[in-house]
Amino acid sequence: MSWLSYTKALNRALTDAMAEDDSVVVLGEDIGAGLAGPTLGLQKRFGAGRVVDTPLSEQGFTGMAVGAALAGLRPVVEFQIPALLFLVFEQLTNQAHKFSLMTGGQASVPLTCLVPGSGSRDGWAGQHSDHPYSLFAHMGVKTVVPATPTDAYGLLRSAIADPDPVVVFAPAAALAVRDDVTGELPAVPLGSARIHRAGTDVTVVAVGHLVHDALAVAEELAAEGISAEVLDPRTLHPFDWDALGASLERTGRLVVVDDSNRSCGIGGEILATAAEQYRLVAPPRRITRPDGTVLPFARELDRALQPGRDQLRDAVRAVVKQEASRLR
């Protein structure tokens, strides 16, 4: 038995992928020193030719990575701050993502973007605290948000092996999570959800680090006789709609908790699809950041704008009680 941290899981996934496949290379700022954690020790083991410490030019090294992928390599680009993805959004969504489609599959871009620390951190303020995963899911780019170290390992391995661009968001609030690991870690297929806790009264879909909040709330509500099922999508695109449908067949009620802005977020898409396609016995609810949120520097204000356990607890109670009142 050993305890595996989230950051170490990402590091192990990169190490194993590079050891198994010489075409896997890593690019990014400060990755030689491993300042963000996932690339620690990689340059010493694999050399500066495969672990390339880049200049401060996201458009420059992302363009280089797209070209390298087209030439047969499998680049992994580390973005230390999620907002840096805004600088290269066109390159990723309009070029890398569409290249195989526009060439009829004659070319592919096996490029992985890793964001180790997405979302809020204490004092990182407005330009460093976004969770822009909904933007990439909207554009059809394969988008991954692991909640646990074992899933971080397995999903990153699958992302690197995938023939298409994949963006992997590692939530800052999940980096301290540890898993008890007893054996080899398997790859986790993209597009496969995970049920962390079975339940019969309500399905709680939680994205990324919010899985752990959902599990804590579910444990509390069990004392009140409310049985909450916690579903972790793991991959936001492609989304495992079959897993959601199966869960809703058991519960008939839905609450989604998503740490991104409310309008056009993945939380709204999950609610809309559930309402269109599946059996619901009560109106669903979502908990998100407010519309157009820019997180401030002050810690108290930062926390006040993010989804919390109190909001989730109240939403689950309301959904369950609403149906109970309709039945009387």
191-208 confidence digits (pLDDT tens)? 999 999 999 999 999 999
306 vs 120: CA distance, rounded Å:
9
Average pLDDT (156-164) is 98
Among 90, 93, 91, 75, which Cα is nearest to 28's?
A: 75
266 vs 256: CA distance, rounded Å:
9
Give the pLDDT confidence score for residue 121 in this predicted structure.
76
Tell me the pLDDT band of 151, cut-offs 50, 70 and 90: very high
Percentage helix, strand, coil for the chain under 3-state DSSP, each rounded to 5: 40, 20, 40
Residues of the chain with CATH 3.40.50.920: 194-327
99 vs 280: CA distance, rounded Å:
39
Sign of the C-alpha dihedral computed for residues 58, 172, 236 and 311 taken in this order:
negative
Residue 182 has pLDDT above 90, yes or no: no
Tell me the pLDDT band of 86, cut-offs 50, 70 and 90: very high
What number does CATH give the domain 2-181? Answer: 3.40.50.970
Question: What is the DSSP track for 162-208?
Answer: SSS-EEEEEEGGGTT-EEEE-SPPPP--TT--EEEE--SSEEEEE-T
The position carrying tokens 């444990």 is 219
Average pLDDT (146-161) is 98
Question: What one-letter code names the amino acid at 178?
Answer: R
Residues of the chain with CATH 3.40.50.970: 2-181
Dump pLDDT digits (tens) for 126-135: 777 789 999 9
Give the pLDDT confidence score for residue 120 in this predicted structure.
79
pTM to 2 decimal places? 0.94
Tell me the pLDDT band of 11, cut-offs 50, 70 and 90: very high
Give the pLDDT confidence score for residue 328 in this predicted structure.
38
Give the pLDDT confidence score for residue 293 in this predicted structure.
78
Tell me the pLDDT band of 323, cut-offs 50, 70 and 90: low
Domain 194-327: top CATH class: alpha beta
Give the pLDDT confidence score for residue 155 in this predicted structure.
98
209 vs 148: CA distance, rounded Å:
8
b/e code 103-128 from CB counts within 10 Å (16+ = b)? eeeeebbbbbbbbbbbbbbeebeeeb
Q: Is the peptide bond before 290 cis (omega within 30 degrees of 0)?
A: no
Residue 265 has pLDDT above 90, yes or no: yes
Residue 1 has pLDDT above 60, yes or no: no
Q: Which residue has the higher pLDDT, 194 or 296?
A: 194
137 vs 198: CA distance, rounded Å:
27
So which residues are the catalytic ones?
A: 128
